[in-house]
Amino acid sequence: MGATLFVQPLDLVKNRMQLSGLSELTTSYFQPFRFQTGYDFPGKKEYRSSIHCLSTIIRNEGVLAVYNGLSAGLLRQATYTTTRLGTYTYLFETFRKQVVYFSVYCFFFCTRGDAAPSFAMKASLGMTAGAIGSVVGTPAELALIRMTGDGRLPPEQRRNYKNVFDALIRVVKEEGVLTLWRGCAPTVVRAMVVNAAQLATYSQSKQALLETGYVHDGIFCHFLASMVSGLATTIASMPVDIAKTRIQSMKVIDGKPEYKNALDVWMKVIKNEGVFALWKGFTPYYMRLGPHTVLTFIILEQMNAAYFRMLISEPHGRLLRKVLQNVNAVIILGLELLSYISVSRAGARGQRKIGPFNYEKFKWPGQNREFPELSPKWHKENPKELHRYTGVQEDGYIDPVTGKYVYVPEMDHELVVPNLEGFKLKPYVSFRTDVEIEKRRKIYEAKVKEKGSKALADLYTLEDERWPPPKMDAETLFELSYGEQIRQAFKEGKYGAVEKKKIEEVLFSMSPKTALLILADGAEEMEAVITADILRRGGVEVTYAGLNGPNPVKCSRKTVITPDSALKDVMSKTFDVVILPGGQPGSNTLAGSDVVSQVLKAHHTAGKYVAAICAAPIALKSHSIPAALVTSHPCVRKQLEDGGYKYSEERVVVADRVVTSRGPGTAFEFGLKLVELLVGHEKSKELVEPMLVKL
């Protein structure tokens, strides 16, 4: 809609020129007005060029006339354009994730085994989106054509619509509701041509530009791709557009329409005006479509980025991904029937699919040295564990007894990167011999001597070539092994925002989790001890921090807990969750502390979790920590509601990365929910049985 404000005058010029030059054979009902108005309809052009058309409109109708039909243009964008772009984006992301999540199942989807749909698929998705959008937007399109072309008619023949809504209402009253969809067929055809050309050539041009390496994914790239897309679309769609324009602007005299269909329009235009008349108005059309395409796609790219940033993130993203996975699962079921060989079966044999029916042998780095469990014997004895070590190659296993392939939905791979779960990660030096280590040390020392300082040497040295070697944890190993590959894939446009989010989640899940539990005198000991105990069972590193220093803290029932450190000493650190135990005296102390306020605000702003149980949620109110929904001990409910919080009586509530719970009796559920959020649902379930917790 924003783009329409800039290009509406060009749209008006394009429509006027397409209606210009109607012949005697096709416009006999205009003959009575020929001599009255000076319009030479039969076979003579009204406008010599786009500039002449624009100047004539301004001279005869006024400057503001160039915005005639603006309301119809805006409604058209609100119906047709938003529908087609939204549908295309949804279909494109769905089919791209289809390829990314489930590898190559069908040659038509991905001809090279990469993550980007083929040009044919992009064109098909564009045509589908265009057809859907055009059916929705045809009424607004009809109003736009009539309102922009009204000024060229003799005064007594003008419809003089006040605005788009007046146009739609009068059309229904005077001509019937079905007239709103007059010209729907050529409109749908035009939309399919436009979208197949515009959306597919935009995606293909953008991909080609990114592959050159000279252009990065940004506004300049979007501008260049949009201009190429606009040119291709103009050439392909103008013949269909002129048929649509003339059909929607025609009048019906004595029940006889001027044109029978789009083919009739083309035949009469070619016969009376020449072949090139099909591209009449090319200049204003491209001048309109070029900037319109540029503005549309630049705005769309920014809105998509915001959409993926805000809606694909947790907690909305979890539900959305689940829905898309279910849709993908249904599609895959049909595709499996078309594929005579299983990608996953090939993966179990130690092969990787690189084309529709082509495979290459592959071998994991260090398979025979660092990961002896990946030997053929281990494969045979542990078929159900294969998916842990072969990453995206598996969504099932070969039954060693029957020899049949068993599909397991839980093993559906969600990203074209290896799953490192189960790998035995060893210190960095275990990957080097003593000779290699000594050689590396000497090279680095020579670099330091050459550059004059260690800091300068580091600037000219890759991270994995520095000395001493970095500590090798899961995240570092992942980066060294696959970081460059993933960055290259992003550069080539193979991964989108959803895949990036998934990679971040993978890295997040591999890093150790930490929790800060703040203690003040009068804290509720059950909530402080049970919560910390469950988190530690789940592998989370918990730090007790005393508000009044490292001195022992006397809890509400006289239990004494010695903090690990003073809160002020750990303020500079970042934890995955900050926890406030309840207890009325302790909660009041936490609510009145400036230090607690700084810690809570810093972590919440950084996107970390903030958790409070029992009466402690009043500290959230005091320190202005926002949450869409909270719960607490009943004794502080009124304070929270007076503070503007929406209240729930659920035992544990998670909203806006704020976790709240009711009291000592819900401490187990509180702790398990934190484990689920930090480590995962499976780990939380694993803790329930040995603790004999009944949920």
Q: With H, G, I as helix, E, B as strand and everything else as coil, classify residue 565.
A: strand
Return phi, psi of residue 580, to 5°: -115, 110
How far apart CA 21 and CA 53 sit, in angstroms, is 12
Burial class (CB in 10 A: 0-12, 13-18, 19+), 449: exposed
Whole-angstrom Cα distance, residue 42 to residue 12? 22
Do 638 and 616 form a contact (C-beta atoms < 8 A)?
A: no
DSSP 599-647: HHHHHHHTT-EEEEETTTHHHHHHTT---S-B---GGGHHHHHHTT--B
Determine how many CB atoms are found less than 10 A away from the CB of residue 269. Answer: 25
Q: Residues near 554 by Cβ (< 8 Å), separated by ≥ 6?
A: 521, 522, 560
Contact 641, 649 (CB under 8 A): no
519: nearest Cα among 536, 532, 534 = 532
DSSP calls for 291-319? HHHHHHHHHHHHHHHHHHHHHSSTTHHHH
| Whole-angstrom distance, CA of residue 208 vs CA of residue 99 | 20
Which residues pair with residue 544 across a beta bridge?
517
156 is catalytic: no
468 prior amide bond cis, ω within 30: yes
Q: What 3-state DSSP class applies to 246?
A: helix
Listed residue (83, 111, 119, 100) closest to 199, CA to CA: 119
Tell me which H or E stretch contains 578.
Answer: strand 577-580
> Alpha carbon of 370 to those of 24, 312, 427: distances in Å?
85, 37, 11
614 is catalytic: yes
The question of whether 527 is a catalytic residue gets the answer: yes
SS3 letters across 359-404: EEECCCCCCCCCCHHHCHHHHHHCHHHHHHHCHHHCCEEECCCCCC
Candidates 614, 623, 669, 676; catalytic one: 614
**Which is catalytic among the residues 394, 527, 669, 676?**
527
Q: Work out the widest C-alpha separation in the chain, in whole angstroms.
A: 106
64-to-57, 59, 70, 149, 167 alpha-carbon distances in Å: 10, 11, 11, 14, 19
Name residue, tokens 């030059």.
21
Short-list 347, 328, 374, 337, CA closest to 101:
328
- Angle at 379 (CA atoms; ends 347, 334), nearest 5 degrees: 30
List, by residue number, the catalytic residues. 527, 614, 633
